[in-house]
Amino acid sequence: MEEIPLKYKIALSLIPRIGDINARKLVSYTGSVEAVFHEPYRSLVKIPGIGSSLAKYISDRSYLKIAEQEAEFVEKKKIKTFFYLDSDYPYRLKQCEDSPVLFYFTGNCDLNAPRILSIVGTRNATSRGREICDRIIAGLAVDNPGLLIISGLAYGIDITAHKSALANNLPTVGVLGHGFNTLYPSVHRPVASAMLEKGGLITDFRSDEKPERNNFIKRNRIIAGISDATLVVESAVEGGALITADIANSYNRDVFAVPGRPDDPWSGGCNNLIKRNKAALVENHQDIEYLLDWKPRKSDEPVQKTLFSQLTGEEQKIYEILSRDGEMNLDLLSRETGTPVHKLSAILLQMEFCGLVRSHPGNIFRLTS
């Protein structure tokens, strides 16, 4: 099959109001991606679902020029593109009729991994929610080495899932609601950088797209479609994670939810999913493995926490202080260790990746065991 020039793939994704379903339809009717942009207006208006207003957008050749600039950005930054006709386009996502005709990926992992789980939840995660998320991922890592964890790099459950995956030596991918020229929230940049080494970042937005609210709703279809199942850890009754759960259900994918107390506002969404048979109740990693029929797999490289003897001098000092006191505020820990806050934050983040410490509200840090 002849290679399609990148600028045409990008241009197809840039046409306003066209949508991913109609974009596929255009290629099917015209015969090729290039032909879409050379088809006369009178022919375009006859394509079902297109009409005169969309035909005008398609006939506007300016999108090819914008696409050329975007292609230069992609090549300069060594970003990989996945087009829906490509042989390596994630097969799970390809099964979804409204999956992006084109998306961008930077990182190092297999988006067609044998086992993929999406984890979503509230941005206002409780300590209970974070601990359950950590525990489930740690358990899954033992029986499912190489399991790919997908989330949205947002506050709360999302960032907890990414950090926990890294701590348990699992690849993890964040799906963004903006282009690669920025990162939102910026405070998660260190975690995102670590994910590029084992995992990565996905977006279907052009490089200069800003983090608008509707973009985050749109990106949820990728989170729901690229995985075998979606797990909702905590969600309010009208939480954004429920949108992802609904999309996953529309794709006939498994949806799981962690139950909570009836009076817990951050569990109302999960409880409703379970009550309405929109999600299976799960309490631990064994429930997920049973429902997905995931048999334990052997790893070439055992999942291990960093041994004390392998820690740096600064990490050992932090470990000893937290072992002694149980928990400590970041500022006090800085005074105790004599390490500046900005440097200490980086060290603690690395220790989180290794599964040694966990951060809690109020910049409180505790050992994980």
Cβ atoms of 232 and 270 within 8 Å: the answer is yes
Between strands 102-108 and 80-83, the pairing is antiparallel
Q: What's the pTM value of the predicted model, to 2 decimals?
A: 0.82
Structural tokens at position 348: 């603690």
Over residues 151-167, the pLDDT tens digits come to 999 999 999 999 999 99
Q: How many CB atoms lie within 10 A of CB 188?
A: 19
The structure tokens 């300590």 sit at 127
CA distance linking residue 55 with residue 255, whole number of Å: 39
Mean residue pLDDT across the chain: 92
Could you check whether 1-75 and 308-367 share the same CATH topology? no
- Give the pLDDT confidence score for residue 304 in this predicted structure: 42
CATH topology of domain 108-292: Rossmann fold (3.40.50)
- Give the pLDDT confidence score for residue 302 in this predicted structure: 45
Which residues are CB-contacts of 166 (< 8 A; sequence separation ≥ 6)? 172, 191, 194, 195, 198, 199, 353
Sheet holding 254-257, edge to edge: 80-83, 102-108, 199-203, 172-175, 148-151, 116-120, 229-232, 254-257, 280-281
- Give the pLDDT confidence score for residue 320 in this predicted structure: 86
- Give the pLDDT confidence score for residue 303 in this predicted structure: 41
Q: If you average pLDDT over each of 24-38, 244-258, 298-312, which comes out highest?
A: 244-258
- Give the pLDDT confidence score for residue 159 in this predicted structure: 98
Predicted confidence band at 350 (pLDDT cuts at 50, 70, 90)? confident
pLDDT at 240 over 80: yes
In the chain, domain spans: 1-75, 108-292, 308-367
Over residues 92-123, the pLDDT tens digits come to 999 999 999 999 999 999 999 999 999 999 99
Over residues 192-234, the pLDDT tens digits come to 999 999 999 999 999 999 999 999 999 999 999 999 999 999 9
Question: Mean pLDDT throughout 317-344?
Answer: 89
Which residues are CB-contacts of 326 (< 8 A; sequence separation ≥ 6)? 366
Residue with the bigger pLDDT between 355 and 201: it is: 201
Predicted confidence band at 305 (pLDDT cuts at 50, 70, 90)? very low
pLDDT at 310 over 90: no
Amino acid at position 132, single letter: I
The structure tokens 């969309």 sit at 54
Structural tokens at position 88: 């390596």
pLDDT at 297 over 80: no
Alpha-carbon torsion angle 328, 329, 334, 336, nearest 10: -40
CA distance linking residue 218 with residue 222, whole number of Å: 8
pLDDT at 57 over 90: no
pLDDT at 62 over 90: no
pLDDT at 20 over 80: yes
Predicted confidence band at 308 (pLDDT cuts at 50, 70, 90)? low
Over residues 250-263, the pLDDT tens digits come to 999 999 999 999 99
CATH topology of domain 1-75: DNA polymerase; domain 1 (1.10.150)
- Strand-pair partners of 82: 103
The dihedral sign for the CA sequence 68, 17, 205, 221: negative
Strand runs labelled E in the chain? 80-83, 102-108, 116-120, 148-151, 172-175, 199-203, 229-232, 254-257, 280-281, 327-329, 357-360, 364-367
Between strands 102-108 and 199-203, the pairing is antiparallel
Exposed e or buried b per residue across 122-158, where buried means at least 16 C-beta atoms within 10 angstroms of its C-beta: bbebbebbbebbbebbbbbbebbbbbbbbbbbbebbb
Helix axes 330-337, 341-353, angle to 10 degrees: 100
Cβ atoms of 158 and 151 within 8 Å: the answer is yes
Looking at domain 308-367, which of 3.50.30.10, 1.10.1040.10, 1.10.10.10, 2.30.130.10 is its CATH number?
Answer: 1.10.10.10
CA 44 to chain centroid: 36
pLDDT at 364 over 80: yes
The structure tokens 């991913």 sit at 20
Find the helix or strand (DSSP H, E) in which 68 lies: helix 62-76
Predicted confidence band at 298 (pLDDT cuts at 50, 70, 90)? low
Which residues are CB-contacts of 119 (< 8 A; sequence separation ≥ 6)? 133, 137, 149, 150, 151, 157, 158, 161, 230, 231, 233
